[in-house]
């Protein structure tokens, strides 16, 4: 299933899952509140007032910073700043009978100069964000390792350069400009820009860029809509049909990963099924074998060191940015609000206040929460290729406990419902796989022993904390086995007439499935997993291999049969290409379809092939089917999981979803389990001592004062933006010193140079950032002065007053610019 780390959970939203935790006792309730009601509030200003008035406890979407700037505006509310979201633009590069200008790589690349990223940051999001060049924002865990690669692109708003490149490429392709507009073979070139109208920022981005494109000579047709419409028009259609050419994307996150193996593949690589075409065999598909090969190595940890991994990331980033099929614009610092009466809110990196830990840990006077959300329903709810939007994940992750998750502040893999022990001998050595370990054989449709002589790179022993499903049945090894069967069956190489293939899920699952060497059940809650997978962090190995399931096997089996019967599709693109519904277990019609499938299973006494060796008799299977059928009858949906809340009600009419605490003796965690995440200390740069003037031929010393920091990373660049020197310095008693030798200062340019300092901490991977400029002169240690009184006229009757005033003005402007650049930037 898609919830084990073997199978991907992706997002717009991507979460790394799996590892360590052993609980021998069980709680009865894992939350402080009894109920959470989610209500749709499209308008952020209305939601803000409702939070102030106490009608909403929390709003799970950003609010405009200008509405909460003053102390008066913050009365009665709590404000939380969080990073993690971003904006990008998806470009359609397809080639078809109708000429598409964006099929030309260089023309797509020119869009980087047509976009004013600083305008987006400073004006559209009020300074609460940073310009982005790739999917790695300034607070990404890998950002510091690739900062030089990113800055080498030197992207700045330059419409003249963009127009020059666009004109050259179009003329080379045979287009001509007539009366200010571009024509190809006598027909005007038209661009369809799909613009998100439900987000004011993206609506503005679309409007501004449309205007810039029109200035270059394109006729731009604007198509407005929300994510539901985008799922059909942009992500679900054949790119060659050219129903769209550009799309304003927005990204959120439900977690934060220290070692992100997914991001580059998701944002740039065709194999991951998130680029135009989505790997649908009936569509035109964007192809790039080079970036596919690199990102697959990153994804499956095909490297021998952290340094080799960083090198791969740099290569993939450079190729992704150069191809410009997905162009990143800006990361944002979101402002979340909550009523003053609510305690226990956790503001995680990446996810922000909507993290899964907030609702579990929040406390209110009436033991309930009313949470506003931007959208109550946009994508489909199914555990295979659903939950692909941030809105559904904000609710779903409260209903589901993963085996492992990433720490909300360090990004390290932490245990949720499984403990582990990893055994290996490095990336090259092998461990012996027991003969009685098993694998699923897709030809014989049965589990078979791997036999003698099998070896694997890593062996991981998992102790699982199973507990109960929401419908009352106990989790057991059949749930785990079915998820492993599903991974191998649907993650196998596609064959002619192969129905167990999904264009979005299968290519991702394939990468995981091919590393699985064997599994061996030890007892009722312990299993050994053997994989050809290595990472320099053992927790990442456990995360990769962790066997887990997010829904009972009978729900997945019924869903699988419905898909194989052609009634629905697991994925968005599959639903569009096959003209069927995208399976959503929260929708009554789809839930009833699952119920009918379960009733048929019961009637014919069906036992899935992957469970036919089970030690349980028919009574067990019948009981599972009955419990699921009863749940659907009582609740009107088929969303059954194992988390601290269960889905009580979904009302499309009132735009609400209600979840209740799962009060089960089988739930393993007490309320307050995650209180440690409430108060986290972030690194802070308190002062940087930089000389005003640096002599080109002398040593340079910079003292950096910090709090709650373990190290600083620094980058010094010249006036051309080229990095002259960089490094990492440890911190002792809150102080670190950057030293440049005479040889190193000689590499600086006379004039303005730039220093960037990042203070980092192992406790919270959000660095504090300081940027300043300093002047480099040759043979001077003070700012130059202009002795105005000594200026003399060398020609009688000629006044030099204007020249003197111009010099004074230039000096004043220079000093003002210099002082402004010395200020610490908002981050």
Closest by Cα among 683, 117, 68 to 349? 683
Please state the length of the chain: 827
Residues 217 and 320 in one domain: yes
SS3 call for 381: coil
Q: Are residues 620 and 570 in the same domain?
A: yes
Q: What is the pLDDT of residue 493?
A: 85
- Clarify whether residues 293 and 430 are in a common domain: no
Q: Does residue 623 share a domain with residue 705? A: no
pLDDT on residue 818: 33
Cβ–Cβ < 8 Å for 572, 582? yes
Q: Is residue 677 part of a domain?
A: no
Residue 505 falls within a domain, yes or no?
yes
Distance between CA atoms of 13 and 84, rounded to whole angstroms? 10
Number of structural domains in the chain: 3
Same domain, 228 and 321: yes
pLDDT at 265: 97
Region label for 288, one of left (φ > 0), alpha (ψ between -120 and 50) or beta (otherwise): beta
For the four alpha carbons of 233, 236, 241 and 245, in that order, the dihedral sign comes to: positive
- Print the domain residue range for 606: 417-642
For 706-730, letters b (16+ CB in 10 Å) and e give bebbebbbbbbbbeeeeebbeeebe
Residue 305 shares a structural domain with residue 224: yes
DSSP 87-119: EEEEE-----SS--GGGSHHHHHHHHHHS-HHH
Q: Has this prediction a pTM greater than 0.85?
A: yes
User: Which of 642, 660, 675 lies at the terminal end of a domain, its last residue?
Assistant: 642
**CA-based nearest residue to 670, from 27, 97, 134, 144:** 27
Chosen domain end from 300, 331, 362: 331
* Rounded Cα–Cα distance for residues 63 and 75 (Å): 15
> What pLDDT score does 783 carry?
54
Answer yes or no: do 626 and 689 share one domain. Answer: no
Residue 356 lies in a domain: no
Q: Is residue 106 part of a domain?
A: yes
Check residue 65 and give its pLDDT.
Answer: 86
Contact 423, 432 (CB under 8 A): no
* Surface-to-core class of residue 319, CB atoms within 10 Å of its CB (0-12 exposed, 13-18 middle, 19+ buried): middle
pLDDT of residue 28: 66
Both 584 and 491 in one domain: the answer is yes
Say yes or no: 305 and 422 in one domain: no
β-pair type (751-760, 768-777) = antiparallel
Could you report the average pLDDT of every consecutive run of 10 residues in the chain (827 residues)? 36 31 52 97 96 97 90 94 91 96 98 97 93 92 88 91 97 97 97 95 97 97 95 94 97 87 96 95 96 97 95 97 97 94 95 95 97 95 94 95 95 96 90 97 96 96 97 97 97 86 94 97 97 96 97 98 97 91 97 98 98 95 98 98 97 97 91 93 95 88 96 90 89 95 89 93 91 87 49 35 35 32 30
pLDDT for 784 equals: 55
3-class DSSP string for 755-815? EEEEEECCCCCCCEEEEEEEEEECCCCCCCCCCHHHCCCCCCCCCCHHHHHHHHHHHHHHH
Q: Kindly state the helix (H) or strand (E) to which residue 630 belongs, with its residue range.
A: helix 618-635
CATH label of the domain that carries residue 154 = 3.10.105.10
> By the 8 A CB rule, do 256 and 103 touch?
no
Same domain, 154 and 297: yes
């Amino acid at each position: 299933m898609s919830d084990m780390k073997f199978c991907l959970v992706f997002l717009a939203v991507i979460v790394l899952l799996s590892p360590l935790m052993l609980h021998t006792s069980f709680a009865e309730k894992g939350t402080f509140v009894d109920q959470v009601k989610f209500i749709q509030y499209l308008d952020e200003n209305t939601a803000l007032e409702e939070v102030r008035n106490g009608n909403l406890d929390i709003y799970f979407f950003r609010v405009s910073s200008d509405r909460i700037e003053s102390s008066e505006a913050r009365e009665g509310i709590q404000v939380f700043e969080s990073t993690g979201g971003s904006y990008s633009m998806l470009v359609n590069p397809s080639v078809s009978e109708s000429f598409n200008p964006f099929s030309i790589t260089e023309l797509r690349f020119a869009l980087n100069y047509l976009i004013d990223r600083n305008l987006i940051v400073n004006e559209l999001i009020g300074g609460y964000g940073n310009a982005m060049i790739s999917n790695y924002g300034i607070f990404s865990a890998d950002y510091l390792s690739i900062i030089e690669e990113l800055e080498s692109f030197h992207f700045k708003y330059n419409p003249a350069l963009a127009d020059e490149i666009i004109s050259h490429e179009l003329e080379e392709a045979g287009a001509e400009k007539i009366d200010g507009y571009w024509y190809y073979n006598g027909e005007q070139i038209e661009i369809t820009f799909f613009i998100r109208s439900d987000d004011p920022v993206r609506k503005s981005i679309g409007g501004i860029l449309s205007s810039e494109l029109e200035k270059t000579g394109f006729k731009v047709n604007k198509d407005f809509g929300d994510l539901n419409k985008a799922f059909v028009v942009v992500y679900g259609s054949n790119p060659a049909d050219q129903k769209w050419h550009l799309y304003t994307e927005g990204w959120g996150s439900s977690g934060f990963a220290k070692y992100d193996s997914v991001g580059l593949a998701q944002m740039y690589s065709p194999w991951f099924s998130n680029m135009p075409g989505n790997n649908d065999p009936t569509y035109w598909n964007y192809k790039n074998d080079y970036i596919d090969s690199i990102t697959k190595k990153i994804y499956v940890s095909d490297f021998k060191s952290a340094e080799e991994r960083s090198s791969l990331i740099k290569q993939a980033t450079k190729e992704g940015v150069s191809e410009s099929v997905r162009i990143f614009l800006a990361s944002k610092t979101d402002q979340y609000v909550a009523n003053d009466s609510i305690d226990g809110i956790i503001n995680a990196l990446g996810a922000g206040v909507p993290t899964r830990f907030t609702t579990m840990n929040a406390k209110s006077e009436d033991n309930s929460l009313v949470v506003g959300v931007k959208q109550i329903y946009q994508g489909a709810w199914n555990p295979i290729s659903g939950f692909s939007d941030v809105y559904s994940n904000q609710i779903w992750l409260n209903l589901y406990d993963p085996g492992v998750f990433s720490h909300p502040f360090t990004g390290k893999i932490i245990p949720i419902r499984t403990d582990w022990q990893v055994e290996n001998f490095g990336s090259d050595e092998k461990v012996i796989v027991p003969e009685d370990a098993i694998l699923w054989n897709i030809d014989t449709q049965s589990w078979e022993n791997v036999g003698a002589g099998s070896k694997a790179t890593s062996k991981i022993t998992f102790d699982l904390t199973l507990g109960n499903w929401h419908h009352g049945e106990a989790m057991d090894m059949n749930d785990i086995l079915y998820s492993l069967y599903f991974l191998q069956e649907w993650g196998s190489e596609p064959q002619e007439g192969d129905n167990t293939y999904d264009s979005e899920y299968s290519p991702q699952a394939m990468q995981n499935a091919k590393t699985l060497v064997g599994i061996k059940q030890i007892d009722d809650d312990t299993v050994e997993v053997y994989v050809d997978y290595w990472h320099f962090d053992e927790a990442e190995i456990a995360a990769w291999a962790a066997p887990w399931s997010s829904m009972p096997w009978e729900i997945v089996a019924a869903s699988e049969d419905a898909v194989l019967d052609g009634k629905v599709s697991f994925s968005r693109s599959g639903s569009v290409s096959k003209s069927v519904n995208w399976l959503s277990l929260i929708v009554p019609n789809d839930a009833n379809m699952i119920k009918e499938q379960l009733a048929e299973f019961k009637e014919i006494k069906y036992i899935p092939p992957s469970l036919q060796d089970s030690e349980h008799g028919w009574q067990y299977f019948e009981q599972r089917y009955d419990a699921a059928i009863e749940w659907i009858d009582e609740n009107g949906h088929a969303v059954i999981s194992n988390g601290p809340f269960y889905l009580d009600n979904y009302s499309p009419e009132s735009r609400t979803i209600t979840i209740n605490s799962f009060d089960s003796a089988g739930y393993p965690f007490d309320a307050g389990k995650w209180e440690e995440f409430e108060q986290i200390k972030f690194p802070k740069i308190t002062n940087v001592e930089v000389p005003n003037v640096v002599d080109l031929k002398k040593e340079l010393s910079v003292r950096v004062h910090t709090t709650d920091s373990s190290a600083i990373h620094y980058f010094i660049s010249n006036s051309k933006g080229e990095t002259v020197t960089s490094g990492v310095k440890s911190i002792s008693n809150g102080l670190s010193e950057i030293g440049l030798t005479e040889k190193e200062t000689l590499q600086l340019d006379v004039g303005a140079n730039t220093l960037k300092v990042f203070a980092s901490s192992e406790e919270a991977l959000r660095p504090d950032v300081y940027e300043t400029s300093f002047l480099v002169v040759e043979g001077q240690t003070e700012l130059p002065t202009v002795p105005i009184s000594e200026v003399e006229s060398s020609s009688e009757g000629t006044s030099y007053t204007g020249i003197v005033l111009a010099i004074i003005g230039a000096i004043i402007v220079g000093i003002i610019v210099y002082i402004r650049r010395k200020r610490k930037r908002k981050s």
